[in-house]
Amino acid sequence: MNKLENPLQNDIAGPAPRHRTTQVMVGNVAVGGGAPIVVQSMTNTDTADVQGTVDQIIRLANTGSELVRITVDREEAAAAVPHIRDGLRKRGVTVPLIGDFHYIGHKLLAEYPACAEALDKYRINPGNVGFKDKRDSQFADIVEIAIKNNKAVRIGANWGSLDQELLTKLMEENANSATPRDARAVTREAMVQSALLSAARAEEIGLPKNKMVLSAKVSSVQDLIAVYQDLASRSDYAIHLGLTEAGMGSKGIVASAAALGILLQQGIGDTIRISLTPEPGGDRTLEVQVAQELLQTMGFRTFVPLVAACPGCGRTTSTTFQELARSIQDFIRTEMPEWRSRYPGVENLHVAVMGCIVNGPGESKHANIGISLPGTGETPAAPVFVDGQKVKTLRGPTIATEFKAMVIDYIEKRYGQGAGSSEAVTAAE
């Protein structure tokens, strides 16, 4: 049996080298060309509601969204865009804004030049930028406005609004072929061609490659993987990944992670969005958290301190460790907007909250700071480990409060201004 046939003899696996793409600057954020994979999100407020949109963008940006897309669907929305940009700047938020245009984007950008100037990127769909004789001219109008304002453009083909003329042409050619393919394969080809032909047309008009990002969003995991593999193999444009209409809750999270995880592992993708349907009244920032966690768990980027916690079993009938793990995790998420500037490097922190003696001490030793809570029938004591060394044993009803205070103290000593080495942190405990 050779090396490839025996996975136990293979070297440790890792992601494929990144697909090299042309870098695009969206405001002050680099996309592609070897830059870190960028997380983006989209508002679901009425863009004409300036204050409501500003507030949601700030929540998304504070959670870690590095680009935010807003809907620009009518005159009131276009008129609101510069006020949204100004409102964000007044509150110290500089996240780049992307305008999402469909059907009348050419008209809105032309009639509201302040909107065209305030946005950092325009997102257009070649399937609905215009129809029949008007399609080419309206597409050209948007591209020319982007050139005039020195803005980037995302050309985003979408399975649900595909260029029907192109699709019909490819279907007819396929029907007359000696070896016809199935309809889904032809539709995938239409997606790729729609994006690439539109990009080529934009370059002819004068928009350089370093001002273009391409996407080809599909709602089926397998189709999405196939489309993006093909798109990447046929171009070096910067690529935006996203599973469109992913769905709600665990279904949307699993589907998005499955599709994007495979593509990212293959080196494909420069910026991602997790398109989750929020629960009624749900928090829009969940899509940002999922995108960050996907990139972080795969080892591409580090956004927030990692909290490891065991799943629980019959040895952990107490809910103490679950409550503490959630408390620590929620606390970290809440504090991260301030910590990013106050504690450089804190996103690399690893906290362990374990529920019993089986794996508790071992996992806690591997963390920067960890606690092993007593399981069912165990001595009511919780050893705390700092950088691999046991420093204290907590007991009594205040275990959770004391451990949380120790985490905060560790962060201050390790990552605060004038912080010393991890050995100094351990010695100080």
The pLDDT tens digits for 335-366 are: 888 888 889 999 999 998 888 778 778 888 89
Q: How many CA atoms lie within 13 A of 32 on its CB side?
A: 26
Give the C-alpha separation, 286 to 60, whole Å.
9
* Average pLDDT of the segment spanning 280-308: 91
Count of C-beta atoms within a 10 Å radius of residue 122:
24
Query: pLDDT at residue 250 above 80?
Result: yes
Domains identified in the chain and CATH numbers: 24-298 (3.20.20.20), 306-415 (3.30.413.10)
- Return the sign of the alpha-carbon dihedral for residues 410, 414, 417, 421: positive
- Coil/strand/helix, residue 122: strand
How do strand 38-42 and strand 67-71 relate by DSSP bridges? parallel
Count of C-beta atoms within a 10 Å radius of residue 429:
17
Of 16-20, 289-293, 313-317, where does mean pLDDT reach its minimum? 313-317
Query: pLDDT at residue 12 above 70?
Result: no
What does the DSSP assignment read for 282-302?
--TTHHHHHHHHHHHHTTS--
Give the C-alpha separation, 20 to 349, whole Å.
30
- Contact status, residue 269 vs residue 239, Cβ threshold 8 Å: yes
- Contact status, residue 321 vs residue 362, Cβ threshold 8 Å: no
Q: Is 115 annotated as a binding residue?
A: no
Mean confidence (pLDDT) of the chain: 89
What lies within 8 Å, CB to CB, of 119 at 6+ separation is 72, 81, 85, 97, 98, 99, 151
Q: Is 356 annotated as a binding residue?
A: yes
pLDDT digits (tens, 9 = 90+) for 153-190: 999 998 888 888 888 999 999 899 899 999 999 999 99
Q: Which tokens belong to 180?
A: 């016809």
Predicted local distance difference test score (pLDDT) of residue 286: 93
Q: Is 363 annotated as a binding residue?
A: yes
Query: pLDDT at residue 4 above 60?
Result: no
Nearest to 118 by CA among 66, 77, 61: 77
Query: pLDDT at residue 429 above 60?
Result: no
Q: Is 310 annotated as a binding residue?
A: yes
Query: pLDDT at residue 277 above 60?
Result: yes
Predicted local distance difference test score (pLDDT) of residue 304: 86
**Alpha-carbon distances of 306 from 27, 85, 358, 376, rounded to whole Å:** 30, 33, 21, 26
- Coil/strand/helix, residue 124: strand
Confidence grade of residue 8 (pLDDT, cut at 50, 70, 90): very low
Give the C-alpha separation, 246 to 147, whole Å.
33
Confidence grade of residue 317 (pLDDT, cut at 50, 70, 90): low
- Coil/strand/helix, residue 351: strand
> Token pair 């004068």 is at which residue?
206
Predicted local distance difference test score (pLDDT) of residue 31: 98
